[in-house]
Chains A and B, each alone.
Chain A
């Protein structure tokens, strides 16, 4: 027993003093190596008296564990110290800039189109498209705007031929015609897209965007039209209350027709939608004219419904406080960066339109 204790005491003090990894490893082999002091003691177990054997083995194991633990702890500690010393030298100025990254943006018109599609998706509209180049029939005649109709004056049209048969569509309404000729009613579609008028000043651009809406079924009346637009406007502007005004107007392809104004006020040079006593016209709509339905071989006695056309750029301007329509198409990097959207901000029903 005393011999064991002696080994223990001697090495405990040795270990205490050493702080060098190789020294500790040396002690380790002095104790537990092939001929280490502890290893030798273990060989004794077989030769000592039966009566003492049990006690000796037990004592020896305790000492062995104690020393072994101590050595391991010591090694850990020393190793840690060494790593820390090394890491200390590797320290960087963490305030230096990160590696360069790129970030793109989605144009506000595209974002607005996605917002619109998302809202109308919820109430069962699907998205249709039509070509930018149209024939005179789809753009005007089929829409109850025959040649020599004064309403044509409101559409300054770009033509591609001298006979004025091929043109750039002046509104998205020809998509109504294409859709209804292609399929059978009911129809419930929106059609966003580029439209063109040969008009250019601060508030007009030769190209702009519209979204057409068309809902044809049995017994769709003006109440449905009002409800649909009321829902859309509220959702789009992300407000609970909206001041909306339906007032009579005239479009050749709808009867009765209406224009819709929303209430707004100016605060600090910015438009606040939904309050105030000023009115701003944002869309035209109405019940699809029976002549239009006849032109696409639908019997107006059996089917009826509404259509609307909304200026997308205008909506984007109002919602996001953009003052100048022309700036949409100027591609100024600073503008795109400021008014653009992160591509991950996809408007959806469950996330909502925006953050």
Chain B
């Protein structure tokens, strides 16, 4: 909502300065969004006439115009507008002028070799409207003003307020003035409503159809006959220009002025173009009309339309139609002032994707009791400016506005706000805001002003009182440092631990969108269902991610393109398994590319491989507190992993839920994505599948056992079939006698000479130690034999002699 201090002063008597105004507006919740200077420093924009146009020698679309700028002076201006033509009166900006829209300062500059001294402006460049097709076309009446400033000099700054959707009353200058006055910023000027005095009847018949979901409940109108539509007088044009509106014609300007001044949208019809009478009804599916924005709309069932005998004239409360629009030669006017239902207006506008000033106001709620006042005010202005004769006001209604009352309990104010104000002050504030109050012992019986649809219950009254008396009065009560519940849950602690544990292993934490490109998602979605976003920002962000890999690999690729070679990224966050709330899992996903020890003088360089990521996964899970002796690993992995170089980890054998996957990314995918790196490996840890131990650190630390008896380290080499896993061998060893055996390590794997084909040798080192005694040779010998026998039995291995 754009206002100026000058306009405010039509309604507000105050001695305070503009600086205080800006502060006070913000203090009462009318946030000052920006200060514009459409009207300051703009005297340099002059009315000028194009006297000659020539084609630009070096550019087809440009013209070189000779422009008369007054005082017997012409300027050469290069212009790209299609409507730049000889004889056109338009607006000229000289070098040095600051263009309001772009805030750039003009300089005389060569455009394709021809120097342009200034420019000819479009409405959009001057922030007058969004019209950017061509330069401004002024009527021939401006001829006598050539050389004069287009804008009149004004000292008032343009103030752009961000009005919250609950305050439609502040979409009119008067509403803002009322709030300011209540807060002590001056006095609201009492404007006596001048009623139309006429004997002439409104002869056009208006009828509101009584039907279900009728969007219009009251339709007020008057006829103004024999008007002469003209340009607006200077005061009115200045007023509109001062808030960034473009003057059009007196009739349109007056309706706009009344709307901006009091938030009462009006609509003026050319009465001669209305066939017989007006009917307000619900539209039928397929009905069409052309609106004032020159667009054709096809209507659905149940939209509120204003019609005549020939069909739709306009969409009630949203936009009028071309067919009945007023023009300079309009003689007879029907002025409409009506009440429309906010919800229905909003629905219709949304369906048709229409946004207008009237719609913006009606969907928030326009004062239903302002209908007559709007007609009085606009009707008389039209008569004053355009002449003619006004009829009596005709009001058709199918509903009645009911005043709302609230019993406000006085003690609620302090209960919510934490501070006190006197009952007298409360009554004063509410009175200033237009509430009528009747004081009882412990409460106020309040009548809500018709322009405040946002006041629905007691707490809304509290808001008014705190707001107007000032948020500065709210005390600062220091918080108490007391904790009744642990800050993080077990799973949240696990999340944080994993996050920092992975980062400590050389991975950079990335945060990527929760959505992704479906092409990338397809590579990694495995058996999951694709979840489409109905209205994505762009097609490459069209689906929710089924895996973190899709984004991570995309960004890994970008970094490789930047010239980085050896890089590890990870992300911890949601992946989506379905489109219902809760169909998501939290995953830590890491990706590592390139080599280890590249260009090292001391270490041999090598590609990152599956055992690097296996270490990261296993080490992390051990750090979290899981027993790696219980881990079970196999090679069943999703199809985006290299089938031979990837693994699946369970915390315990027989678990149903996978704790992690790790491995090389499938070569087909890296090829298709065209990722340029020597090697690409990754892992996924599924946090939701990890069971957190019930033991706290305190419980875990309680028992400390160790043995000081002599220990013995034994090596065994077994010949096994190639398809036997190292894990099988270790499990077989572990099954022997767990308390005696520890530190079981594979230290060599060998195939080749001296080993039969289809066999391999696996060498294991085992530490044997008792908690009860020093083992003698006999003991050790029998344990050795037991180990060999067990392993041979369980795995088909043979001890290598």
Measured CA separation A164–B535 after assembly (Å) = 10
Shortest CB distance B4–A (Å): 22
- Taking a contact as CB atoms closer than 8 A, the residue among A125, A198, A222, A259 that contacts B417 in the complex is A222
**Could you give, for residues 509-537 of chain B, a 1 whenever the CB lies within 8 Å of some chain A CB and a 0 otherwise?**
11111110000000000000001111111
If A104-B507, A117-B488, A223-B476 touch, does A132 touch B459 (CB 8 Å cutoff)? no
CB pair B535 A198 closer than 8 Å? yes
Neighbour of B509 across the interface among A106, A138, A158, A207, CB < 8 A: A106
Contact B347 A148 (CB under 8 A): yes
CB B600 to nearest CB in A, in angstroms, measures: 6
Cross-chain contact of A328 among B467, B481, B511, B601 (Cβ < 8 A)? B511
Given A131-B582, A135-B581, A328-B511, verify A304-B347 contact (CB < 8 Å): no
A227-B477 in contact (CB<8A): yes
- Interface positions, chain A 121-137, Cβ under 8 Å from B, are 121-127, 129, 131-135
Q: A258-B471, A333-B567, A343-B503 are in contact. Are A226 and B488 (CB under 8 A)?
A: no
Chain B residue at minimal CB-CB distance from A113: B496
Q: Which of B251-297 contact A (CB under 8 A)?
A: none
Residues from chain A with Cβ under 8 Å of B506 in the complex: 102-104
> Once the chains bind, are B500 and A132 in contact (CB under 8 Å)?
no
Residues of B within 8 A of A134 (CB): 581
- At the interface, yes or no: A336 with Cβ under 8 Å from chain B? yes
Within 8 A of A (CB), among B470-522: 471-472, 474-489, 492, 496, 499-515
The smallest beta-carbon distance between A238 and chain B, in angstroms, is: 17
A223 touches B484 (CB 8 A): no
B629 within 8 A of A: no
A149 lies within 8 A of chain B by Cβ: yes
A228 to B480, CA, bound (A): 9
A196 touches B514 (CB 8 A): yes
Q: Which one of A151, A154, A219, A226 has the highest number of Cβ atoms from chain B below 10 Å of its Cβ?
A: A226
Max count, chain B CB within 10 A of own CB: residue among A132, A135, A168, A340? A132
Give chain B residues whose Cβ lies under 8 Å from the Cβ of A226: 474-477
Q: Does A56 contact B (CB under 8 A)?
A: no
B568, CB-defined interface residue at 8 Å: yes
Give bound CA distance, A106 to B489, whole Å: 21
- Give CA–CA (A340, B479) in the complex, Å: 31
Number of residues of chain B lying within 8 A (CB) of chain A = 98
Q: Are B416 and A121 in contact (CB under 8 A)?
A: no
Bound Cα distance from A321 to B511, whole angstroms: 19
Q: Min CB distance, B547 to chain A, in Å?
A: 15
Contact check, B581 vs A124: say whether CB atoms are below 8 A apart. no
**Complexed CA–CA distance, A242 and B347 (Å):** 45
Q: How far is the CA of A205 from the CA of B124 in the complex (A)?
A: 27
Q: Are A246 and B471 also in contact (CB < 8 A) when A102-B506, A117-B488, A223-B476 are?
A: yes
Which residues of chain B from 595 to 630 have a CB within 8 Å of any chain A CB? 596-597, 600-603
Q: Does A256 contact B (CB under 8 A)?
A: yes
Q: Which residues of A contact B487 (CB under 8 A)?
A: 117, 120-121, 125-127
B364-A159 in contact (CB<8A): no
Chain B residues within an 8 Å CB radius of A194: 514, 573-574
- Is the Cβ of B509 less than 8 Å from the Cβ of A104? yes
The answer on a CB contact under 8 Å between A340 and B509 is yes
| Residue among A96, A131, A222, A246 facing the most chain B CB atoms (10 A cut-off) | A222
A-B contact pairs, 12 of them (CB 8 A): A104-B502, A104-B509, A105-B509, A110-B499, A120-B487, A198-B537, A224-B477, A250-B165, A255-B463, A256-B463, A256-B467, A336-B509
Question: Which A positions have Cβ atoms within 8 angstroms of B?
Answer: 96-97, 99-100, 102-107, 109-110, 114, 117, 120-127, 129, 131-135, 138, 148-151, 153-154, 158-162, 164, 166, 168, 188, 194, 196, 198, 200, 206-207, 219, 221-224, 226-228, 230-231, 246-250, 255-259, 287, 289-290, 304, 328-334, 336-337, 340, 343-344, 346
